[in-house]
Amino acid sequence: MNSFFKRIWNPIRNFLGLRRHTSYERSYLNTANIRMSLYMSFIIITVEIWMIIRGMVENVIPTMNNAGNTTSFMELFFMNTSQYWLFLFAAASMLTLAINFLVEKSAKFKEKWHTKKMIVPLVFSIILIIFSFSFFNELKYFKAWDLRYNRVSNLGVIFLYLFAFLLGLSIVIHIWYNNKYGKKHIAFSILTLILFSAMCLAFGVKVGYTDFFSRFYSGTGLPKEVKGEVSVGGLPLYEIKSIICFLTMVTYVGALLIWKPYISILMLTFVFGIFGALLNGDPANRVFADGDKINYITFYISLTIIAVSIYQQRISEAKKSENLEYRAKYDTLTPLHNYGYYVGKVGDLLKTIPDKMDDYCYIFINIQNFKTYNDQMGFEEGTKFLINFAKKIKELFGKLSAREADDHFVAFDKREGLEEKINELNQLIISDAHGLYLNLKVGIVKPISVDEDINTSVDRARYAALTIKNIYSSIIAEYDDRMHDIYKKKQYVVNHLDEAIEKNYIKVYYQPVVWSSDRKLCGCEALARWIDPKYGFLSPGDFIPVLEEVKLIHKLDAAIFELVCKDLRNSLDAGKPVVPVSLNFSRLDFELMDAVKVFEDLIEKYQIPKDYVHVEITESALNSNLELLQSCMDKLSKDGFSIWLDDFGSGYSSLNVLKDFHFDVLKIDMKFLTNFEKKPVSKVILDAIIKLSEKIGMLTLTEGVETQAQADFLSEIGCGRLQGYLFGKPLPIETLEEDIKNGKYIVSDEII
Ligand code: C2E
Ligand code: CA
Ligand code: CA
């Protein structure tokens, strides 16, 4: 029943506009009304000027020419035109006020616009107020109160002047308010529009009514009370006009005051009702013929519907643009602003606090491990968590906070008291985590200059947060000089990768791999080095993680593949002894480029026998996008390449991985060898891994072999290949070749 009622009531409610407008809708409608008042007052000004000129030509000039008349010029000047003047001043103040309002609204002109411009509407409205006192002059023309016809006419004039006076007053107050508080109040806009409309209606009713009857009376002869008073030069004064004046004024008001439909309906019903009743109830009611009545009512209905439909249209436009405006400012998920808006606002703020900048800081907030929460609790719960978290951020940091992306948030706030706020945020994390391990990581950085790049600063705060990623007890990290150096280096890497590849700053070093049985050289691993003119020697640790982070790693890897192919080709061509090279594939290589194709094309281009290159894929690669990885591996396998699992045992999905993927060689992570002597259990583990690999048909290689004891043990338990500083560090190709030549390495005949 309830929902049935709602289904009927809701459309009616919407049609009538019986719901609260949002403040956006209110201001949108107000602006639209003001824009309309601009057009309308412009029309009125034109019409009034025309009417005044016409009045002069018809009345003033003939009277002036009439010798011996005693009327003063001023009197003649305003004679019969004073109501037009009244409208002229009212429309002029409306027009200038509307222009002022609209210009201030438009951001484009705002800065050039000064409040002084309010002077113009102020002057007009003061003139309007003063001029409204000419009402007392009009009294002269008042008709005897006894006839209803006269009463309507007199009341029309009284109300016209009264509303004009109030309108002038309301505009003056409006301007005063605006000056005092520096903003406009919507109530004054509405009041101004209503008073202006009321003026029009008073005028329309008065003129329309008197007209209607004077037309009628003039045909058959005016009744005696009316005759003498309203005629000028022997002509009935209002004869030329008609009820059209009323209709014009009502239409005008209908268009001007598009407010809630029920208000439009009530207003128009009221006005049409009063006017209709006046016409109808007059002793001469037979004039209001049935045909006219039908037209009258049709006109009323059409006008009402037009007003309502304009309203509906404006509201739907308002909603649309509100939506757009909302999207431009707010995050899609949480009640926070979006990042773009934040950047703009912080930029604005910085300009206003050049001396106090040091008191403030950028704040980057990351919820570490949030992915686990999402996985365990489900996406919906995850969203709820983020919204709740965002609310807290908004509460703590106010407007200058935003969601940057995913579970990353940013804020800009005073440095003082920050720790307490972060603590409060952390409490929320702990209480909302449902026992899961979530960790807050916050990076902060102070602004340096008024016109700095906000993105860079946020990036630095992000970087600071990243530095405490693995330090459980740390929540806040402040960006310092040391970080700045590292950060600069990172930026440098990102910005100079292409150049480094092009100018051959990127080199391949080869680390020997030997058979455990005879320690003869059976291969080597290609490891990237960046020898930079500015930073000198860079290890993969300096650039690989950065390049992965910014998703540029594939460029480096493609370059390394090619360098290796070239080296192999040269050695083969020169008839030098050659061993297979294993290449490191980043997980991202498969996502960022068609890695298989890039790799195989190079093999093809340099005519490298497939046995001479091995593909290394690290265990951590097996965490994501498994389908893609699986299909790439299948292709490589099918095409005859040997695939090696790098860093086996460094992560936690190891054993599972062996079930789902096939690898030719297992590279056992060097972690197993740390504290080798002190921890006998590591021997047991290594032994077990080797046995396991044998059982599932995979060959083995242990990385990071540094001591003879380690090597001997590994040989003993049957690990096939060994790699580590004991046998050699990564070397440039020339050094490696030299070492082969001078017998340090003996190249094995067997390479598989
Ligand atoms: P990784 O693939 O596990 O390479 C082995 C790393 O261990 C190399 O470090 C090597 O120098 C080091 N190492 C070898 N033997 C020993 C030893 O006995 N003791 C110790 N302490 N370390 C040893 P490097 O060259 O710094 O490379 C680090 C990582 O960077 C590599 O680990 C690999 O994941 C990545 N990487 C290197 N070059 C490339 C590349 O061209 N492409 C990609 N995607 N990653 C690369
Ligand atoms: Ca490797
Ligand atoms: Ca490794």
- Where exactly are the structural domains of the chain? 22-242, 337-479, 490-741
Side-chain-side CA neighbours of 315 within 13 Å: the count stands at: 19
Average pLDDT over residues 467-492: 90
**Tokens matching residue 412:** 């800009």
Say if CB 93 and CB 125 are below 8 A apart. Answer: yes
Which residue has a Cα nearest atom 37 of ligand 1?
527
The correct CATH number of 490-741 out of 3.60.15.10, 3.20.20.450, 1.10.10.10, 3.50.50.60 is 3.20.20.450
**Which atom number of ligand 1 is nearest to the Cα of residue 667?**
3
Average pLDDT over residues 215-229: 44
Largest CA distance in the chain: 140
The helix or strand, by DSSP H or E, that contains position 511, with its residue range, turns out to be strand 506-515
Quote the radius of gyration of the chain (alpha carbons, Å): 44
CA distance 307 to 257: 8
Q: Tell whether the torsion through CA atoms of 487, 489, 492 and 497 is positive or negative.
A: negative
Strand partners, 524: 512, 581
Which residue has a Cα nearest atom 27 of ligand 1?
540
State in Å: Cα 574 to ligand 1 middle.
28
State in Å: Cα 528 to ligand 3 middle.
13
- Per cent of the chain over pLDDT 90 is 51
Average pLDDT over residues 654-683: 88
**Fold agreement (337-479, 490-741):** no
pTM: 0.59
State in Å: Cα 711 to ligand 2 middle.
19
546-576 confidence digits (pLDDT tens)? 999 899 999 999 999 999 999 999 999 999 9
Asked whether the predicted pLDDT for residue 233 surpasses 80, the reply is no
Which residue has a Cα nearest atom 24 of ligand 1?
540
Which residue has a Cα nearest atom 20 of ligand 1?
704
pLDDT value for 222: 45
Q: Which residue among 509, 674, 703, 722 is best mutated to probe the pocket of ligand 1, counting the most ligand atoms within 8 A of its Cβ?
A: 703
CA distance 98 to 88: 15
Q: Which residue among 527, 549, 562, 710 is best mutated to probe the pocket of ligand 1, counting the most ligand atoms within 8 A of its Cβ?
A: 527
Tell me how far apart the terminal alpha carbons of the chain are, to the nearest angstrom.
Answer: 81
Q: How confident is the model at residue 119 (pLDDT cuts 50, 70, 90)?
A: confident
Alpha helical stretches, state H, 353-441 = 370-377, 379-397, 418-432
Residue 684, burial from CB neighbour count under 10 angstroms (0-12, 13-18, 19+): exposed
Side-chain-side CA neighbours of 316 within 13 Å: the count stands at: 7
Lowest mean pLDDT among 214-218, 395-399, 657-661, 686-690: 214-218
State in Å: Cα 747 to ligand 2 middle.
21
**Which atom number of ligand 1 is nearest to the Cα of residue 730?**
11
Residue matched to tokens 């460094």: 650
State in Å: Cα 525 to ligand 1 middle.
9
Q: How confident is the model at residue 239 (pLDDT cuts 50, 70, 90)?
A: very low
| Closest to 479 in 3D by CA, of 497, 492, 467, 469 | 467
Arithmetic mean of pLDDT over the chain: 86
State in Å: Cα 283 to ligand 3 middle.
108
Asked whether the predicted pLDDT for residue 235 surpasses 60, the reply is no
Which residue has a Cα nearest atom 26 of ligand 1?
540
State in Å: Cα 579 to ligand 1 middle.
19
Asked whether the predicted pLDDT for residue 243 surpasses 80, the reply is no
Distant-in-sequence, close-in-space partners of 341: CB < 8 Å, separation ≥ 6 = 328, 329, 330, 402
| Closest to 362 in 3D by CA, of 289, 304, 399, 411 | 411
The helix or strand, by DSSP H or E, that contains position 261, with its residue range, turns out to be helix 261-281
Say if CB 443 and CB 462 are below 8 A apart. Answer: yes
Which residue has a Cα nearest atom 42 of ligand 1?
584
The CATH class that applies to domain 337-479 reads alpha beta
Q: Of the spans 162-166, 205-209, 296-300, which averages the highest pLDDT? A: 162-166
Does 70 or 539 have the greater pLDDT score?
539
Residue 352 CA, distance from chain mean position: 23
**Which atom number of ligand 1 is nearest to the Cα of residue 616?**
2
Ligand 1, CB within 6 Å, residue ranges:
511, 527-528, 539-541, 544, 553, 557, 560, 584, 586, 646-647, 670, 703-706, 723-725, 730
Q: Which residue among 524, 525, 544 is best mutated to probe the pocket of ligand 1, counting the most ligand atoms within 8 A of its Cβ?
A: 544
Distant-in-sequence, close-in-space partners of 147: CB < 8 Å, separation ≥ 6 = 225, 226
- Per cent of the chain over pLDDT 70 is 89
Q: Of the spans 9-13, 217-221, 469-473, 713-717, which averages the highest pLDDT? A: 713-717
Average pLDDT over residues 695-720: 95
**Which atom number of ligand 1 is nearest to the Cα of residue 706?**
18
Say if CB 693 and CB 729 are below 8 A apart. Answer: no
**Which atom number of ligand 1 is nearest to the Cα of residue 647?**
3
State in Å: Cα 616 to ligand 3 middle.
9
Strand partners, 499: none
Ligand nearest to the CA of 723: 1
Which residue has a Cα nearest atom 30 of ligand 1?
540
pLDDT value for 596: 97
Ligand nearest to the CA of 585: 1
Distant-in-sequence, close-in-space partners of 532: CB < 8 Å, separation ≥ 6 = 496, 500, 505, 538
Q: Which residue among 584, 602, 645, 727 is best mutated to probe the pocket of ligand 1, counting the most ligand atoms within 8 A of its Cβ?
A: 584
Residue matched to tokens 């455990």: 516
- Over the range 256-282, which residues count as b (16 or more CB within 10 Å of their CB) and which as e? bbbbbbeebbebbeebbeebbebbeeb
Say if CB 45 and CB 37 are below 8 A apart. Answer: no
Which residue has a Cα nearest atom 35 of ligand 1?
540
State in Å: Cα 647 to ligand 3 middle.
4
Q: What are the two backbone dihedrals, phi and then psi, of residue 441, each rounded to the nearest 5 degrees?
A: -125, 120
427-446 confidence digits (pLDDT tens)? 988 888 777 888 899 999 99
Q: How confident is the model at residue 622 (pLDDT cuts 50, 70, 90)?
A: confident
**Which atom number of ligand 1 is nearest to the Cα of residue 527?**
38
**Which atom number of ligand 1 is nearest to the Cα of residue 669?**
3
pLDDT value for 74: 66
Say if CB 246 and CB 205 are below 8 A apart. Answer: yes
**Tokens matching residue 611:** 């046995």
**Tokens matching residue 532:** 């930079």
Say if CB 512 and CB 728 are below 8 A apart. Answer: yes
